[in-house]
Chains A and B, each alone.
Chain A
Amino acid sequence: MSELLSRRNDRVLTLTLNRPQARNALNNALLEQLADALEAAQSDDSIGAVVITGSERCFAAGADLKEMASRDMPATLNDPRPQLWARIERFPKPLLTAVNGYALGAGCELAMLSDIVLAGDNARFGLPEITLGIMPGAGGTQRLIRSVGKALAYRMVLTGEAITADQALQAGLAAEVCPAALTLEYAQKLAARIAQHAPLALQAAKTALRQAHELSLAQGLQQERQLFTLLAATSDRQEGIAAFLEKRPAAFKGR
């Protein structure tokens, strides 16, 4: 059985982390499969959005500690891992995570890298790296503070203690909390709703949202306007507005 299961429903691709013996620990091989799958989905016009999930008890409980332990300083310096994360981050289509159970360390970082997090009521988000004498190494100190703010981010990173799904919702890390048995289903429904929209508009909107953490407000507004202008040149924009005025569903072509 593959460690990354892949399933299609209409325009939604679901990728399931499947290393139950290692609580879905994200080793390099699994990250690479994830990056490969997302790159394949990027060039597949029939895929509108992707959902990443784990099992009902565990999303991903961290990186692979055995793998990490075997890497000394020079090996860590040239670890391909940052490139793998960068490939995952470059995925331009809407990326959702359906998180049940533990999303710890790299698992939490993967969830935070995604665009929308749906959390099961049994979900736990945490960055326990500090308890191992290390620290988050794939965005944990950066994306967490940007979504939940200083107080909670410092607390989580310096204590290593996890937060519950409800706390994650309140803090702005998760978009929604649902019963664990329904998390994936609801994430897929949400992804299906998103995937109906014009692909270029989704891509442009995602790019603009990403810039919010990279640029100043003035630069961000300028880039937003450029992307907005870009969409004016698409036929899907004509179709979208025409369909709205004619009170019919839009038929987007991705151009």
Chain B
Amino acid sequence: MTFILSDVQNGVMTLTLNRPERLNSFNDEMHRQLAEALTQAERDDAIRCLLITGEGRAFCAGQDLNDRNVDPNGAAPDLGASVENFYNPLVRRLARLPKPVIAAVNGVAAGAGATLALGCDMVIAARSVNFIMSFSKLGLVPDCGGTWFLPRVAGRARAMGLTLLGEKLSAEQAHQWGMIWQVVDDEALIDTSRALAAHFASQPTFGLGLVKKALLASENNTLDAQLDLERDYQRIAGRSDDYREGVAAFLAKRPPVFKGK
């Protein structure tokens, strides 16, 4: 079964979560296929933007609970194993990928599906979409980076409310709260997210990668440490081909042609 549809065109890799009959919820095989696609995204310099979306009416409903039948007489399951083997590496790899990652949230995003979207760099959601931090309804903890991203993107009070109550959050509300980049009408989602991806694929990717890295580092750094890091990254960025091209194009009053290096 192909649970991840992968399509690379003009510098954009589009990954489509493809278990529509199961609302694109994750099973182990889907994780493995996604990991394989990410390896390609990491290694191929020609890929300059990653776009993640879902097939059918959902974005992703998180972990497939059908794989998680708990035998009342058996030993307690080790949910930490799939977090350690699949979800954590996935979140780390998306955060460290030195190119922009866009989530085009086409339908419901629940559980790890919701927190996965929040871990992407740019989130565009269709207006009808809901985000559901459903973990607490099962007695679980938000994983896939949820407890880290939520207080940072929504603030502590909202993170508490969202995760303790586990209720639906509309895309509009998520946008108003600054949790996602943009809300668009459902029928405009594909075009809007593709246009953004195409834009990124023509941009100075090396510099954008450093921007991501700097923002990630800022979460742990003091101001002093971050200022040093900005000095270092600017030194490196200033030596990139794209910076030369950007300045040359500006001075010549022509559009720049960035190579991503």
Binding site for B on A (CB under 8 A): 178-179, 181-182
Chain A's closest residue to B233 (CB) is A179
> In chain B, residues 222-239, which have Cβ atoms closer than 8 Å to a Cβ of chain A?
232-233, 235-236
Can you list 8 residue pairs at the A/B interface with Cβ under 8 Å?
A: A178-B232, A179-B232, A179-B233, A179-B236, A181-B236, A182-B232, A182-B235, A182-B236
For the complex of A and B, the 5 pairs showing the least CB-CB separation, nearest first, are A179-B232, A181-B236, A182-B232, A179-B236, A178-B232
Number of A-B contacts (CB under 8 A): 8
Closest to A182 in B: B232
- Over the window 224-261 of chain B, the binary record of Cβ atoms lying under 8 Å from chain A Cβ atoms (1 yes, 0 no) is 00000000110110000000000000000000000000
Taking CB atoms, residues of chain B closer than 8 Å to A181 are 236
Complex Cα distance A178/B232, Å?
8
Task: Write out the residue numbers on chain A whose beta carbons fall within 8 Å of the beta carbon of B233.
Answer: 179
Q: What CA separation (Å) do A178 and B233 show in the bound complex?
A: 10
Chain B residues at the A interface, C-beta cutoff of 8 Å: 232-233, 235-236
Complex Cα distance, B233 from A182, in Å, reads: 9
A182 — which chain B residues lie within 8 A by C-beta?
A: 232, 235-236
Residue of B nearest to A179 (CB): B232
Q: Which residue on chain B has the smallest CB distance to residue A181?
A: B236
User: How far apart are the CA atoms of A194 and B232 in the complex, in Å?
Assistant: 21
Residues of A within 8 A of B236 (CB): 179, 181-182
What is the CA–CA distance of A74 and B79 in the complex, to the nearest angstrom? 51
Chain B residues lying within 8 Å of A178, measured Cβ to Cβ, are 232
Docked Cα-Cα span, A195 to B120, in Å, equals 47
Closest chain A residue to B235, Cβ basis: A182
CB distance from B238 to the nearest CB of A (A): 11
Which residues of chain A come closer than 8 Å to B235, judged between CB atoms?
Answer: 182
How far does the alpha carbon of A179 sit from the alpha carbon of B235 in the complex, in Å? 10
B243 CB, nearest partner CB in chain A, Å: 14
In the complex, what's the smallest C-beta–C-beta distance from A24 to chain B, in angstroms? 22
* Complexed CA–CA distance, A178 and B236 (Å): 11
Instruction: Report the Cα distance A90→B236, complex, angstroms.
Output: 36
Residue on A with the closest CB to B232? A179
* Min CB–CB distance A250 → chain B (angstroms): 28
Chain B, Cβ-Cβ closest to A176: B228
In the complex, how many angstroms separate the beta carbon of A168 from the nearest chain B beta carbon? Answer: 16
Chain A, residue nearest B228 (CB): A178
If A178-B232, A181-B236, A182-B236 are given as contacts, then 5 extra A-B residue pairs at C-beta distance below 8 Å, sorted by A number, are A179-B232, A179-B233, A179-B236, A182-B232, A182-B235
* Interchain CA distance A182-B232 in the complex, whole Å: 8
Q: Measured between C-beta atoms, what is the minimum distance from B254 to chain A in Å?
A: 29
CB distance from A32 to the nearest CB of B (A): 36
> How far, in whole Å, are A181 and B236 apart by their CA atoms in the complex?
7
Question: In the complex, how many angstroms separate the beta carbon of B128 from the nearest chain A beta carbon?
Answer: 42
In the bound complex, how far is the Cα of B235 from the Cα of A232, in angstroms?
42
- Within the complex, the shortest CB–CB distance from A124 to chain B, in Å, comes to 15
Residues on B with beta carbons closer than 8 Å to the beta carbon of A179: 232-233, 236
Q: How far is the CA of A182 from the CA of B235 in the complex (A)?
A: 9
A182 to B236, alpha carbons, bound, how many Å? 8
Shortest distance in angstroms between A184's beta carbon and chain B's nearest beta carbon?
A: 13
Minimum CB distance partner of B236 in chain A: A181
